[in-house]
Amino acid sequence: VRLSRSWSSIRAQPDEERAAAIAAVTADSSTPTIFDKIISKELPSTVVYEDDKALAFRDINPQAPVHIVLIPKNRDGLTQLAKADERHKDILGHLLYVAKVVADQEELADGFRVVINDGPNGCQSVYHLHLHILGGRKLKWPPG
Ligand code: TR5
């Protein structure tokens, strides 16, 4: 495993950033993530949308009144958006369309935000590609 950041710089960060930095150090496409257990239903989650390719569930630590995590069921190398290649174009398009379907379902007619955190600088903490769908309040811009 290549350590891209020193442990002393990781220790100095706030909790969420520290978790993201630690996750990045151990991330690779063969390591299962917590989302595998959510897909297999080994871990309970509040599913709001499911089809053969995608699963959406409520975030355990919501950052807005509506905060949903949307994932591909088959990670297929998509630990993060930065790893996408040509073969992922269909699933990426599908996920973006499902984000819109979920926003409709959640009655986010006044607007919402779709976020993909990528890598340590994006504060990604789970290395299975996922979209955050956030809404139900006026969101600030720019994000921190
Ligand atoms: O930080 P990134 O962008 O990687 O987003 C990962 C998201 O997964 C965070 O918003 C977490 O709050 C969310 N998360 C983590 C767990 C979890 C979850 N959402 C629903 N259920 C969860 N379980 C059961 N366990 C988690 N570790």
**If you average pLDDT over residues 122-129, what whole number do you get?**
98
Write the pLDDT tens digit of every residue in 69-93. Answer: 999 999 999 999 999 999 999 999 9
Contact between 129 and 113 (Cβ < 8 Å): no
Number of neighbouring beta carbons within 10 Å of residue 48:
17
Both structure tokens of 133: 């769908």
- From the list 88, 94, 128, 130, the catalytic residue is 130
Q: Which residues of 58-74 are buried (b: 16+ CB within 10 A; e: fewer)?
A: ebeeeebebbbbbbbbe
Residue ID of nearest Cα to ligand 1 atom 25: 34
d(CA 14, CA 117) in angstroms, rounded, equals 17
Q: What is the pLDDT of residue 30?
A: 85
